[in-house]
Every structure is written in C-alpha cells, then in structure tokens.
C-alpha cells in the first residue's frame, strides 16, 4: 500500500473518531448515522439502476437492455436504503453491533500489520496495546445491551478510532526510517 493511502486512512479514521466523540451526547446520533447510510445506499442504487437500464452502444445508439444482476443489486440497495430512511430506529441496535464488530476486526487487522506485515522491522510491544484494547472494547460492546447505551457505543467507538489513528501514525513514523534504510543501495 502506498504511503499516501496510509496517510489518508489515518486522517479519515481520526476525523471520524473525533466527530463521534464530539457528537456522542446526541440522543439520536445513531439514527442519523443510519439515515446517512440509507442515503448512501439509495443514491448510488438509483444511479446504478439508471445506468444499467440505459447503456450506449459503441455506435452511439442507446441500448435499453440491462443485466438482471445489475437491476437486482440496484433495486436491493434502494429498497434497503429506503427502509433505513423510513425506519432508522430498527437499524440502530444493528449499527451498534456493527460498530463493535468493526472495532474487533480493526484491532485484529492492526495486530496483523504490526506482527507480520511490518517485518523485517520489529516494533516494540506497546504498539500492540491499542489494537488489543480495541478488540476488548468491541467484545464489551457486543456483550452490552446497546439499545440503552447508544451514546456509550458512539463514545467508545470514537475513542477507539482516534487511538487507532494515533497508533497507526506512530507505526508509520517508526517504520519509515527503517524502510528507507532498507531501500538504499548498499
């Protein structure tokens, strides 16, 4: 992965984490996130449906035939997005569990990055603390009744994302000089 992509990922994770921390006290924050995800399904689904239905041939003529897979996927995305827009409270509990699962997966991903993908560079053991804490936070969120702890779910997820972004930044900074030395001709 290129360094620019790493920086962009770190910045996005940090910004999302800060926004979740700042907005955690809003009672309806998870509902707003569900509505945003619903819009992110409806709009591309509609665009995909229209583009699948109206395709131009090589000679410039419009071809109105569409693949059934494109139509089914587009209609499915629009239906799920519309359902999320109409009944966001139904998806709030599910979203909290998705946040918990993402924390667990992101923690495991960081352990893999630190332990295996960073080789031959060996990072200090304290780099493993944040990923392990992310996994623990995800497990705690999975075991908690999230319908009553919506703001806690958002706050814990935000803190974990900010800590992960800082940890990723430290990983990149600490691995960069060693990678540069390895790439120099002997």
Task: Over range 80-98, report the average pLDDT.
Answer: 88
CB 54 within 8 A of CB 48: no
- pLDDT tens for 118-136 read 677 777 788 888 899 999 9
Select from 143, 137, 124 the least CA-distant residue to 163: 137
Highest mean pLDDT range out of 76-80, 92-96, 155-159, 182-186?
76-80
Quote the pTM value.
Answer: 0.66
- DSSP summary character for residue 123: -
pLDDT at 180: 54
Secondary structure (3-state) at 58: coil
Task: Over range 55-74, report the average pLDDT.
Answer: 70
Q: Is the pLDDT of residue 183 over 80?
A: no
pLDDT at 46: 92
pLDDT at 1: 45
The residue among 173 and 62 whose pLDDT is bigger is 173
Lowest mean pLDDT among 14-18, 39-43, 50-54, 108-112: 50-54
Cβ-Cβ contacts under 8 Å for 50 (sequence gap 6 or more): none
pLDDT at 31: 85
């Amino acid at each position: 992965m290129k360094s620019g992509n790493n920086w962009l990922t770190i910045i996005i994770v940090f910004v999302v984490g800060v926004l979740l921390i700042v907005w955690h006290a809003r009672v309806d924050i998870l509902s707003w996130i569900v509505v945003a995800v619903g819009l992110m399904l409806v709009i591309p689904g509609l665009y995909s449906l229209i583009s699948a239905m109206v395709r131009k041939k090589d000679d410039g003529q419009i071809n109105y035939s569409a693949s059934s897979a494109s139509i089914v996927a587009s209609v499915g995305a629009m239906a799920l997005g519309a359902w999320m827009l109409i009944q966001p409270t139904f998806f709030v509990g599910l979203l909290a569990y998705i946040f918990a699962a993402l924390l667990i997966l992101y923690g495991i991903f960081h352990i893999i990055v630190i332990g295996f993908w960073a080789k031959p560079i060996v990072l200090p053991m304290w780099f493993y603390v944040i990923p392990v804490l992310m996994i623990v936070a995800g497990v705690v969120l999975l075991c908690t009744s999230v319908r009553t702890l919506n703001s806690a779910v958002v706050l814990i997820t935000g803190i974990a994302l900010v800590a992960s972004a800082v940890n990723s930044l430290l990983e990149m900074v600490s691995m960069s000089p060693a990678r540069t030395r390895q790439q120099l001709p002997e």
